[in-house]
Amino acid sequence: LGVRNQKRINFLFSLYIQTVTHFVRIHHFASASSKTEAFTFDHTGKKMPVDESTAVGKTVCVTGAGGYIASWIVKLLLERGYTVKGTVRNPDDPKNTHLRELEGAKERLILCKADLQDYDALKSAIDGCDGVFHTASPVTDDPEQMVEPAVNGAKFVINAAAEAKVKRVVITSSIGAVYMDPSRDPEAVVDESCWSDLEFCKNTKNWYCYGKMVAEQAAWETAEEKGVDLVVLNPVLVLGPPLQPTINASLFHVLKYLTGSAKTYANLTQAYVDVRDVALAHVLVYEAPSASGRYLLAESALHRGEVVEILAKLFPEYPIPTKCKDEKNPRAKPYKFTNQKIKDLGLEFTSTKQSLYDTVKSLQEKGHLPPPSTSQESSQNGIKIES
């Protein structure tokens, strides 16, 4: 071979390698303290260095990308053409595999290793982004695991966003920062102006609500100080089909009624919202220039008795409890709320009945619940539920 031909072959070979790599690419950013190593996976799963400049279009960061809500946010953002830098604590954990299977992930998903307590790792994930969706949070009632990581995470994300000059930060707070207030008039309508009573959360050892509230407060204070455009979402209990292979806390709320582990239901009420609506709300408030402040995300408030009744009608094959644990006191009444603010941005809520149906079907498909027998399946046919 002549030198010219050899050069041409070398050029074509390198072009082939680049093209193949592009199509099988999942970008990973592993950041250890301030040093950032970028890598991708080839079709055999082997880690390879990656050139970040190949990312096209607008880039946004989603923290806690592998979680229940964040996975749906990532899916939606990829479908809309964004390049997504998703932070996870362990990119190699099989519980994050579903992210690599999302449409567009091969070309436009970059996974960044980051803990909420690691400012440098969060900063390198947020650098170069137009927007940030901060969804990662501990979900626990252990005060040590909950409060400090939640507050530090919120502050670090806002500070990193300020340095990166991002357009907007969207934070996933919670109804826990809104309605835990024993002095609220039971007839009052819960809206975005309500805040939980911190002392009440502390005295009742409700460290999850306490942590979510102080983290949201820290986010607002830091955003004001640093001039960051912040929008906050306050979802109630989230239901709907999971993308991730594992069960999170809110899915357990439904699962326990189907596995026989809950023999009775509590004399309590709860508001519910579908995970797909929560994800869409994140994208809507990010994209709408007029969006500002907090947004309550709730479809309906139900007594546990109503939840088990819906489940029993849809899925009679499971050992769903029929008795209330508290037979003495009157049935608790659901609180009143308004979801008008997010509806004004165009969100149409999925009904909670539909959400419950889709949750159970998905838990069956993922092997968390035994599938119904054919005869039992036919008993559902009278119910008009879209799947």
Active site residues: 212
Measured over the CA atoms of residue 174, residue 180, residue 184 and residue 186, the dihedral's sign is positive
CB of 90 or CB of 376, closer to ligand NAP: 90
Query: Does position 91 bind ligand NAP by CB under 6 A?
Result: no
Nearest distance, CB of residue 191 and ligand NAP, angstroms? 16
Of the candidate spans 4-12, 21-29, 129-137, 185-193, the one that interacts with ligand NAP by CB under 6 A turns out to be 129-137
Binding ligand NAP (rule: CB under 6 A), the pick from 73, 74, 228, 238 is 238
CB of 21 or CB of 173, closer to ligand NAP: 173
Give me the DSSP letters along 255-306.
Answer: HHHHSS--SSB-S-EEEEEEHHHHHHHHHHHHH-TT--EEEEE-SEEEEHHH
d(CA 53, CA 55): 5
Of the candidate spans 27-35, 97-105, 134-142, 220-228, the one that interacts with ligand NAP by CB under 6 A turns out to be 134-142
Side chain identity, residue 375: S
Q: In the chain, count of helices (H) and strands (E)? A: 14, 15
Nearest distance, CB of residue 202 and ligand NAP, angstroms? 18
CB of 249 or CB of 383, closer to ligand NAP: 249
Q: Which SS3 state, helix, strand or coil, does residue 108 take? A: helix
Residue 330 DSSP class: P
Nearest distance, CB of residue 330 and ligand NAP, angstroms? 27
- Asked whether 191 and 338 are in contact (CB, 8 A), the reply is yes
Measured over the CA atoms of residue 68, residue 74, residue 77 and residue 78, the dihedral's sign is negative
Query: Does position 174 bind ligand NAP by CB under 6 A?
Result: yes
Q: What residue is closest to ligand NAP based on CB?
A: 67
Question: Hunting for tokens 């806690």 — which residue is that?
Answer: 64
CB of 235 or CB of 321, closer to ligand NAP: 235
Nearest distance, CB of residue 139 and ligand NAP, angstroms? 5
Give backbone dihedrals phi and psi of 123, rounded to 5 degrees, phi first. Answer: -65, -45
Side chain identity, residue 362: S
* Tokens linked to 110: 């970059």
Nearest distance, CB of residue 367 and ligand NAP, angstroms? 18
Residue 303 DSSP class: E
**Which residues contribute to the site for ligand NAP (CB under 6 A)?**
64, 66-70, 88-89, 115-116, 135-139, 149, 172, 174, 212, 235, 237-238, 248, 250
